[in-house]
């Protein structure tokens, strides 16, 4: 690990001043991704600002409905919180599908938002080419081993995927991210928070380097009765998704037999960000959930997919996963 300075503070103002003053400094929360990347030599921050003691752990109702989950609440505490389990079971299930209990006890919600890709070419500095790690160096995954890589929204510079499960559920739940810098607060819609790689894959998110994530806010959800997080991976547990689906349905009259009033489908493991399948959602609205509407949605979910040499299986897998997640969410499976 590179040598670095270390500061610890209890106050957001102090942390924000420090991050603005020290060029290249990073906030340290759970550290489960950052410390690993520092051990690999991928991240070399000259200064860590330990924000674990900032008062950002609360999980609380928002006035007017909805839920605010603190950036420093641990993933495990979030998944086991009664308000999350009852009103946002999709989020609880997505979090519980990720990593291990030990890692979820350490990892924070803010850190989960900001975790970096597990692309082998990014994680291993033995590979010289990675535009995300070293801008301009090329992409080892394009033309390389790319079984785990993106089929949507990739560029000629990067085909990495975002590894989070939590963020896929947040995309389906229309979350917003509340952030603060020395200049003040702003909110970022989850769909705008993570970005596509384009020509600048080294930049994962629209969060500025001097900004601190304060909380993740979710509106009141009409989906608590009919939602499902499906994750398909190479092992039964403790593994990243090849494909995951967050599916959420709202039925007219509230019951699974009626027509679909609104739907949310977000995909994980397939793009540089959680991938909302809006065409698939549209294919469901106004219809009952049945074999026909499910198949139309599944097909719509993969329109525009551009697989690489090794990951064409994901195009088929996404369709099957969307179909199964919808059927489970709607009580058909």
**Smallest gap from residue 214 Cβ to another protein (A):** 18
DSSP string of 277-292, one letter each residue:
-HHHHHHHTTSBSSHH
Phi, psi of 251 (to 5 degrees): -105, 145
Which one of 58, 100, 258, 290 is in contact with another protein (CB under 8 A)?
100
Using CA of residue 62, residue 50, residue 97, residue 123, what is the dihedral sign?
A: positive
Is residue 52 involved in binding another protein (CB under 8 A)? yes
Q: How far apart are CA 12 and CA 277, in angstroms?
A: 36
Is residue 22 involved in binding another protein (CB under 8 A)? yes
Q: How far apart are CA 197 and CA 272, in angstroms?
A: 7
Chain position carrying tokens 């994680």: 123
Q: How far apart are CA 284 and CA 261, in angstroms?
A: 9
* Closer to another protein by Cβ: residue 225 or 312: 225
* Closer to another protein by Cβ: residue 40 or 137: 40
**Smallest gap from residue 36 Cβ to another protein (A):** 5
Cβ-contact 58, 73 below 8 angstroms? yes
Which one of 55, 58, 60, 86 is in contact with another protein (CB under 8 A)?
86
* Closer to another protein by Cβ: residue 83 or 203: 83
Residues 178-217 contacting another protein, CB under 8 A:
none
Q: How far apart are CA 188 and CA 176, in angstroms?
A: 5
**Smallest gap from residue 82 Cβ to another protein (A):** 7
Tokens of 48: 């860590």
Closest to 277 in 3D by CA, of 294, 257, 261, 253: 294
Which one of 57, 68, 85, 118 is in contact with another protein (CB under 8 A)?
85
Is residue 220 involved in binding another protein (CB under 8 A)? no
Is residue 44 involved in binding another protein (CB under 8 A)? no
Task: Give whole-number Cα distances, 196 to 55, 165, 290, in Å.
Answer: 32, 17, 33
Cβ-contact 67, 218 below 8 angstroms? yes
**Smallest gap from residue 239 Cβ to another protein (A):** 9
Q: How far apart are CA 317 and CA 300, in angstroms?
A: 13
Which one of 75, 97, 164, 215 is in contact with another protein (CB under 8 A)?
97
**Smallest gap from residue 108 Cβ to another protein (A):** 12
Is residue 237 involved in binding another protein (CB under 8 A)? yes
Is residue 115 involved in binding another protein (CB under 8 A)? no
Stretch that binds another protein, among 78-86, 145-153, 282-290, 309-317 (CB under 8 A): 78-86
Which one of 71, 92, 243, 245 is in contact with another protein (CB under 8 A)?
92
Is residue 32 involved in binding another protein (CB under 8 A)? yes
- Sheet containing strand 67-70, strands side by side: 59-61, 67-70, 212-218, 176-181, 184-189
Three-state secondary-structure class, residue 318: helix
Strand partners, 228: 247
Q: How far apart are CA 211 and CA 196, in angstroms?
A: 20
* Closer to another protein by Cβ: residue 21 or 255: 21
Angle at 147 between CA 145 and CA 151, to 5 degrees: 115
Which one of 56, 59, 69, 89 is in contact with another protein (CB under 8 A)?
89
Is residue 278 involved in binding another protein (CB under 8 A)? no
**Smallest gap from residue 295 Cβ to another protein (A):** 27
**Smallest gap from residue 125 Cβ to another protein (A):** 14
- Interaction site with another protein (CB under 8 A): 1, 3-11, 14, 17-18, 21-22, 28, 31-32, 35-36, 39, 46-48, 50, 52-53, 76, 79-80, 82, 85-86, 89, 92-93, 96-97, 99-103, 105-106, 236-238
């Amino acid at each position: 690990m590179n040598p670095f300075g270390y500061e610890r503070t209890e106050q957001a103002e102090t942390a924000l001043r420090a991050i603005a003053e020290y060029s290249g400094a990073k906030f340290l929360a759970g550290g489960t991704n950052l410390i690993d990347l520092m051990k690999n030599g991928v991240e070399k921050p000259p200064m860590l600002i330990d924000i674990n003691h900032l008062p950002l752990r609360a999980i609380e109702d928002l006035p007017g409905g909805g839920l605010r989950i603190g950036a420093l609440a641990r993933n495990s505490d979030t998944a086991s919180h009664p308000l999350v389990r009852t009103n946002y079971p999709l989020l609880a299930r997505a979090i519980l599908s990720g990593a291990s209990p030990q890692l979820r006890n350490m990892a924070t919600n803010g850190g989960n938002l900001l975790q970096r890709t597990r692309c082998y070419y990014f994680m291993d500095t033995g590979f010289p080419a990675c535009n995300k790690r070293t801008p301009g160096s090329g992409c080892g995954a394009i033309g390389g081993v790319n079984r785990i890589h993106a089929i949507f929204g990739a560029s000629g510079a990067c085909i990495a995927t975002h590894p989070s499960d939590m963020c896929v559920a947040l995309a389906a739940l229309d979350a917003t991210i509340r952030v603060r810098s020395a200049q003040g607060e702003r909110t970022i819609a989850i769909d705008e928070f993570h970005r596509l790689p384009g020509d600048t894959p080294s930049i994962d998110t629209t969060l500025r380097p001097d900004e601190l994530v304060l909380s993740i806010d979710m509106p009141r959800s009409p989906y608590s009765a009919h939602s499902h997080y499906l994750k398909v991976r190479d092992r039964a547990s403790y593994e990243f998704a090849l494909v995951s689906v967050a599916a959420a349905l709202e039925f007219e009259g509230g019951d699974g037999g009626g027509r679909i009033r609104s739907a949310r489908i977000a995909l994980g493991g397939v793009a540089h960000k959680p991938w909302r399948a809006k065409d698939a959602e549209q294919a469901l609205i106004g219809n009952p959930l049945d074999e026909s509407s499910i198949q139309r949605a599944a097909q719509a979910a993969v329109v525009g997919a551009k697989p690489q040499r090794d990951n064409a299986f994901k195009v088929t897998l996404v369709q099957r996963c969307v179909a199964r997640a919808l059927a489970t969410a709607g009580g058909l499976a």
